[in-house]
């Protein structure tokens, strides 16, 4: 990993990043660690988490890998109890875990639909609730950063349930921000544009993917690092006056 300079001091804070076994989740954990936060990295793929945990700890950070299926709602309470027992209760939650099933709406099965909505919308809601319940009870300030998508506002062909889930994340962000406004729980969202990750890298090598890139104003994919500033703003002290806000970071793809 290259050395990351953040300009933000998160020493004394602990961040939980879900979906941290690949893609944006890995970058979010690295950036928050580089800013001084202890990081809890959670995902289903324990072997991938172990690699990231070793990398961060080997560079002088503090990472704790915990296997977690975010759709297993019955275990969310015990998951946070386990973190409290290890003195690793986060005060920053990055709701990043997500997935997609790419097919026309008429080909969707009920199981396809449930899988997308359960992972992308239902799980973040209940993770945020349990996280906030702890901090409201303790009287602590805390931050929630939900990862939405440009699909929250833009129709992406073949991705209707995905876009439905991400537009729901935006409204969930606003609703929770309003409910917890007096509790010092800031709730915000980031809407990334198209960024190459392991779940979509095959597409950009196809003629269709190349044509899509050529249609954007800058003729390029956005980079994972483009999200660093928005993440640190919303997780760090400079974002203390922001709640219920959605920041779009798409490299101008959908101007």
Determine, yes or no, domain membership for 163. yes
Section 135-145 average pLDDT: 97
pLDDT grade for 244, boundaries at 50, 70 and 90: very high
Say if residues 48 and 21 touch (Cβ distance below 8 Å).
Answer: yes
Alpha-carbon span 206 to 215, nearest angstrom = 14
Per-residue pLDDT tens digits for 80-116:
999 999 999 999 999 999 999 999 999 999 999 999 9
Determine, yes or no, domain membership for 2. no
Q: How many domains does the chain have?
A: 1
pLDDT grade for 2, boundaries at 50, 70 and 90: low
Determine, yes or no, domain membership for 255. no
60's torsion region: left (phi>0), alpha (psi -120 to 50) or beta? left
* Share of residues in the chain with pLDDT > 90 (%): 89
Give the CATH number of the domain where residue 69 resides.
Answer: 3.40.50.720
pLDDT grade for 162, boundaries at 50, 70 and 90: very high
Query: Which residues span the domain enclosing 160?
Result: 14-249
pLDDT of residue 197: 80
Section 77-81 average pLDDT: 97
194 flagged as catalytic: no
pLDDT of residue 250: 96
Burial class of residue 73 in the structure, from the number of CB atoms within 10 Å of its CB (0-12 exposed, 13-18 middle, 19+ buried): middle
Determine, yes or no, domain membership for 9. no
Determine, yes or no, domain membership for 47. yes
pLDDT grade for 203, boundaries at 50, 70 and 90: confident
pLDDT of residue 229: 97
pLDDT of residue 198: 74
Determine, yes or no, domain membership for 55. yes
Determine, yes or no, domain membership for 197. yes
Active-site pick, 108, 113, 162, 194: 162
pLDDT of residue 66: 97
Determine, yes or no, domain membership for 244. yes
């Amino acid at each position: 990993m290259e050395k990351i300079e953040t300009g933000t001091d998160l020493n004394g804070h602990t961040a939980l990043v879900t979906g941290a076994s690949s893609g944006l989740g890995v970058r979010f954990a690295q950036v928050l660690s580089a800013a001084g936060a202890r990081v809890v990295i959670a995902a289903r793929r324990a072997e991938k988490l172990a690699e990231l945990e070793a990398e961060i700890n080997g560079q002088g950070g503090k990472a704790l890998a915990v296997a977690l299926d975010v759709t297993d709602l019955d275990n969310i309470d015990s998951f946070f109890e386990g973190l409290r027992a290890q003195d690793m209760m986060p005060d920053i939650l990055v709701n990043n875990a997500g997935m997609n099933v790419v097919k026309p709406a008429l080909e969707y099965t009920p199981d396809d639909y449930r899988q997308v909505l359960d992972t992308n919308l239902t799980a973040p809601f209940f993770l945020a609730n349990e996280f906030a319940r702890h901090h409201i009870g303790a009287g602590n300030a805390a931050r929630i950063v939900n990862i939405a998508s440009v699909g929250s506002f833009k129709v992406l062909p073949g991705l209707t349930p995905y876009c439905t889930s991400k537009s729901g994340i935006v409204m969930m962000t606003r609703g929770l921000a309003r409910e917890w406004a007096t509790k010092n729980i800031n709730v915000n969202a980031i809407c990334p544009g198209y960024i190459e990750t392991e779940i979509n890298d095959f597409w950009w090598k196809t003629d269709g993917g190349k044509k899509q890139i050529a249609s954007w104003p800058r003729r390029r994919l956005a980079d994972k690092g483009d999200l660093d500033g928005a993440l640190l703003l919303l997780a760090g002290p400079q974002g203390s006056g922001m709640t219920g806000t959605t920041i779009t970071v798409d490299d101008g793809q959908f101007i």
